[in-house]
Amino acid sequence: MDVKTKKNLTDIARKIRIEILEMLCISGSGHSGGSLSMADIFAYLYFSNKFKLEPKYLKHPQRDRVVLSKGHACPVLYATLAEKGYFDKTHLHTLRKYGSILQGHPDMNKTPGVEITTGSLGQGLSCAVGMALGAKMEKYDLHVFAILGDGECNEGQIWEAAMSAAHYGLDNLIAIVDRNGLQIDGYTKEIMNSEPLDKKWAAFGWEVIKINGHDFDQIDDAIGRALNINGKPVCIIANTVKGKGVKFMEDKCEWHGKTPSDEEKEKAICELSCN
């Protein structure tokens, strides 16, 4: 990836993180850590200009699709969609408010750019499998990206969907696991150890790629490789840091579902702006 593109994506990811903090602080409730950890992935998907992920493709049958299976991390999706122009940024200040288009979990009937309503963990991948299979049947040229949490991989439905995707040879489906090592109750290895996660996905018939989920060169290389895999779906295990970009939030379980105070927000934004 060239220096100019990388700098642009880095700047966009920073904006997304700042917008996440702003909206969560105003809301007073929501999920900080797992939203911040995915900002780089979302910046790449929506701003690398490699996919049909723009407002002009909103209803296009052959648009690419992003499914946020870990729906509680919707602030990263909302901030990205607003940055891309799917809706006005003023809506970000209405997060979780009555009547807002931005609810506490993604709602496909309220929010432009949200492909499917998610929140019950495990269900998003099943929906993504259906989208990818439908595209195959219609001979549509598109890709479906399913964003999963590593704690979410405790859900049995994830593995039912994984088995189905391999069975139908869905090489237009790319799952990206936000492997930040934490879930609401603590470290994933202590709550329900899923290691070796890469071998589990491979055993279910997926091509597996492991990367640093904050390195744009690695993200670019992994996505490029995934797009050229034929005959089976791809799982990208993105090793990330929960709360990435804000030192006092990083790798802290308590920031899973906690929002910053005004003082904490200003400290965090100052840190992001200076880096």
- Give the Cα separation of 214 and 180 in Å (integer): 11
| Rounded distance between C-alpha atoms, residue 189 and residue 156, angstroms | 17
Q: Which secondary-structure segment (H or E) carries 66?
A: strand 65-68
Tell me the pTM: 0.97
Q: Up-side HSE of residue 101: CA atoms within 13 Å toward CB?
A: 19
Q: Are 220 and 1 in contact (CB under 8 A)?
A: yes
Distance CA 10, CA 12 (A): 5
Q: Each residue of 1-24: b (16+ CB within 10 Å) or e?
A: beeeeeebbeebbbbbbbbbbbbb
What CATH number does residue 255 fall under? 3.40.50.970
pLDDT at residue 199, as a whole number: 98
Nearest to 212 by CA among 86, 72, 74, 37: 37
Residue with token string 């899923």: 194
Torsion sign (Cα): 47, 260, 177, 91: negative
Separation of alpha carbons 214 and 37, rounded Å: 8
Total domain count for the chain?
Answer: 1
Strand partners, 187: 182
Tell me what pLDDT residue 274 has.
Answer: 83
CA–CA separation, 180 vs 241, rounded Å? 5
The whole domain housing 101 covers: 3-274
Q: Cα(244)–Cα(250) distance, rounded to whole angstroms?
A: 6
pLDDT in tens for each of the 275 residues of the chain? 899 999 999 999 999 999 999 999 999 999 999 999 999 999 999 999 999 999 999 999 999 999 999 999 999 999 999 999 999 999 999 999 999 999 999 999 999 999 999 999 999 999 999 999 999 999 999 999 999 999 999 999 999 999 999 999 999 999 999 999 999 899 999 999 999 999 999 999 999 999 999 999 999 999 999 999 999 999 999 999 999 999 999 999 999 999 999 999 999 999 999 86
